[in-house]
């Protein structure tokens, strides 16, 4: 697994671990809490609400990142497609397409 694969999946893995840990913590709190039943249920409900909010925030953040990557990928695809069209046109016209290798400009 490459570093890119790890970093892409890191957010989802963290979120799943966070939710699982929160649920485990809430369950242990029920077992060991020296409170009355109503008070314990209220505390568990509040914790569940906080976990739900954190999960929603994490999902929103992950969704934003996916949208940014998609937009960036779309732009890169459009640039590459335009370069390919230009090269094909140059070949059709009987001239050699210019190839520029610049690692800092992958599609220039």
Task: Kindly report the pTM of this predicted structure.
Answer: 0.39
Q: Residue 58 domain-assigned?
A: yes
Q: Residue 51 domain-assigned?
A: yes
pLDDT of residue 100: 47
Largest CA distance in the chain: 86
Between the alpha carbon of residue 74 and those of residues 8, 19, 78, 107, the distances in Å are: 18, 33, 6, 13
Q: Residue 103 domain-assigned?
A: no
Q: Residue 4 domain-assigned?
A: no
Which residue range forms the structural domain that includes residue 35? 10-92
Tell me if 97 sits within 8 A of 86, measured CB to CB: yes
pLDDT of residue 1: 47
Say how many domains are in the chain.
Answer: 1
Q: Residue 5 domain-assigned?
A: no
Q: Residue 59 domain-assigned?
A: yes
Q: Kindly give the confidence (pLDDT) of every residue in the chain, 108 residues in length, as a single tens digit, with 9 standing for 90 and above.
A: 445 555 566 677 888 888 888 888 877 777 776 667 778 788 888 888 888 888 888 777 777 888 888 899 999 999 999 988 888 888 887 776 555 445 566 554
Q: Residue 105 domain-assigned?
A: no
């Amino acid at each position: 697994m490459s570093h890119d694969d790890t970093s892409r999946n890191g957010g989802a893995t963290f979120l799943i671990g966070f939710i699982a840990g929160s649920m485990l913590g809430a369950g242990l709190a029920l077992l060991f809490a020296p409170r009355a039943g109503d008070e314990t249920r209220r505390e568990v409900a509040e914790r569940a609400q906080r976990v739900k909010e954190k999960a929603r925030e994490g999902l929103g953040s992950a969704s934003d990142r996916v949208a940014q990557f998609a937009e960036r990928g779309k732009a890169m695809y459009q640039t590459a497609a335009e370069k390919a069209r230009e090269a094909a046109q140059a070949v059709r016209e009987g001239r050699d397409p210019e190839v520029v290798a610049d690692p800092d400009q992958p599609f220039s």
